[in-house]
Amino acid sequence: MRFGEVTVVQVNGDGPEDVLVDGEGRVYTGLVDGRIIRIGDDGRRIEVVADTGGRPLGIEFYGDDLLVCDARAGLLLVNPVDGAVRVLATEALGKPFVFCNNAAVAADGTIFFTDSTERFGIDNWRDDLIESEQGGRLLRRTPDGEMSLVADGLEFANGVALAPDESFVAVAETGACRVRRVSLPGGAVTDLVTGLPGFPDNISTGSDGLIWITQASPKVPALDLVRKLPAPVRLAVRRLPRWLQPSPGREVGVLAVAADGTVVHELRGEIEGFHMLTGVRERDGKLYCGSLEDRTIAITAVPS
């Protein structure tokens, strides 16, 4: 199904990668320059809540605070009232985070979050897709600060979402175009959704109980070709100017699945003034979408 009417809202900065919606309809998002902003429910009033000094990506509520996955600064807690930033972690199990990306919070305060790659940081995320490495980790932090590994060997570990009953945690593998399901507490890894037509980024559990999955771009045939080439050739491609490398398409999409992976909703198409859809939240029948590269967020209705 194609997107219906979409409202595109300008923000005062680049790259509102993830979005979080509070009970008043206000949207929180992090920008390239490190600011976390709050957008009023009318889309006009924009307030700076905090500045992480890094690159904030995934954002969740954590009690009265905001939990932020910052690709440069690590796992953070942000006070939205006074802007105070507290570092929860910059490493896990003896390995520094390379690319802290996205998170989900359990009812008891346990945090599940991704470290996307063990080699390439936020400035070189395309390189990980070219190399098709499997260095991503899904990690768990308990309320007392204990860290543990939930799953590894993930092909660009990205979005994280918990099942409504917390029987499993879902994690997007961008490079593999699939979403994995990790059972809790056992840890068995199975597929939730495979063969996606595009690259999944952030995922989230909606107020409707469905798991919403972004698709930032359709699959790129040139990228599939480059991945099959010898390592020296892949390196040469990575060194090319950005405009000569395989590039994402402008079409974007969102997918909603039930806990068993059954597709309930699917939207796809180009949105004027908005591309690279990387964040999605469903709240009370509305979809709020963020973008890694644009200066806008997009709002549309859930299909009836």
Per-residue pLDDT tens over the stretch 73-92: 999 999 999 999 999 999 99
Digit-coded pLDDT (tens) for 40-52? 988 889 999 999 9
Residue 148 pLDDT greater than 90, yes or no: yes
Q: What is the DSSP letter of 227?
A: H
Can the peptide bond before residue 185 be classed as cis, meaning omega within 30 degrees of 0? yes
Cα–Cα distance measured from residue 187 to residue 123, given in angstroms and rounded to the nearest whole number: 31
How much is the pLDDT for 243? 62
Residue 219 pLDDT greater than 90, yes or no: no
30 Cβ contact list (under 8 Å, min separation 6)? 16, 17, 18, 36, 37, 52, 55, 56, 57, 59, 68, 70
The domain at 6-301 falls in which architecture?
6 Propeller (2.120)
21-45 mean pLDDT: 95
108-134 mean pLDDT: 88
Digit-coded pLDDT (tens) for 125-142? 778 777 778 899 999 999
Residue among 186, 120, 193 nearest 161 (CA): 193
The residue among 219 and 11 whose pLDDT is bigger is: 11
The confidence band for 290, taking pLDDT boundaries of 50, 70 and 90, is: very high
Q: What is the DSSP letter of 123?
A: G
Q: What is the mean pLDDT of the chain?
A: 92
The confidence band for 234, taking pLDDT boundaries of 50, 70 and 90, is: confident
268-279 mean pLDDT: 94
Per domain, the residue ranges of the chain are 6-301
Residue among 229, 227, 198 nearest 215 (CA): 198
Residue among 158, 80, 72, 79 nearest 112 (CA): 158
C-alpha distances (whole Å) from 62 to each of 23, 32, 103, 261 are 14, 22, 11, 27
Total residue count of the chain as it appears in this document: 304
What is the H or E stretch that residue 141 is in?
strand 136-141
88-107 mean pLDDT: 97
How much is the pLDDT for 246? 62
How much is the pLDDT for 124? 84
The confidence band for 143, taking pLDDT boundaries of 50, 70 and 90, is: very high
Helices (H), the chain: 125-131, 221-227, 231-238
Residue among 152, 78, 64 nearest 109 (CA): 64
Q: Is the dihedral of CA 244, 246, 249, 254 positive or negative?
A: negative
The confidence band for 248, taking pLDDT boundaries of 50, 70 and 90, is: confident
247-269 mean pLDDT: 92
How much is the pLDDT for 244? 61
Instruction: Note whether 131 and 234 are within 8 A (CB).
Output: yes
How much is the pLDDT for 232? 79
How much is the pLDDT for 245? 63
